[in-house]
Amino acid sequence: MRYISARQMIFDAYHERRGSVMAYAQEIARMGAQVQTTQRNNNDWRIVNGLEAGQVISAVESQPQHLQALARYCFGPFTRDELAEDREWLHAALMHVGMQMRLPGQGQSEQPPAEAAQQLRWIASAAIHHHAETTYPYNRPGLHNPRRIAAWIEAEHGEEVDVGRWSRSGRACWGGVWERLLDTLDRWESQALAPVAALIQKAA
């Protein structure tokens, strides 16, 4: 494996595990401190690659579930179906964050109205999609305005959401909720990548 960036390392590690050296990649939990010795002394690149991949996977999978899910969802070499469980974990965690906010229409009530909670569900889903699309190295356009967000939700989930009052000065608005969800995902991404990035320094 090439230790170039944490994002690339996650992709390569999970790709390696899916390949012919899967068994080696899974050995890291049992190898512990023997890894460095193996890397120095063993000339079989397949074993070395497997051990390095195992270190990266261990760095991902020792984190809280939602951070593991984000790392695999954004940077892993997986199909949409393979990512379904990770997406559920990530969505549940983001919904928990969203429900701590004061949502549009909630007023002074302790709990948001059912309609607002349902709209949050779809907007959180769109935020995850947007983050995964726009994050490096993909840098795709994503959902960069309310109209695109609403169109994606309708196409993906068959649901209509009201984005007519996306921004409202001095009051809770969906634009503000959207920005806070994206900020949360940015923060989680940094947390998820940090243990993987630390391996670059160890390998140097």
Question: What is the spatial distance between Cα 119 and Cα 32, in angstroms, rounded to a whole number?
Answer: 46
Within 8 A by CB and 6+ apart from 101, the residues are: 172, 177, 180
Within 8 A by CB and 6+ apart from 43, the residues are: none
Model-wide pTM > 0.95: no
pLDDT in tens, 118-149: 999 999 999 999 999 998 777 888 999 999 99
At 50, is the pLDDT very low, low, confident or very high (cuts 50, 70, 90)? Answer: low
H or E stretch covering 189: helix 174-203
pLDDT in tens, 160-170: 988 877 887 66
Question: What is the spatial distance between Cα 20 and Cα 53, in angstroms, rounded to a whole number?
Answer: 13
% of residues, the chain, pLDDT over 90:
57
Residue 118 phi/psi, 5-degree rounding, is: -70, -40
Q: Is it the case that residue 186 has pLDDT exceeding 50?
A: yes
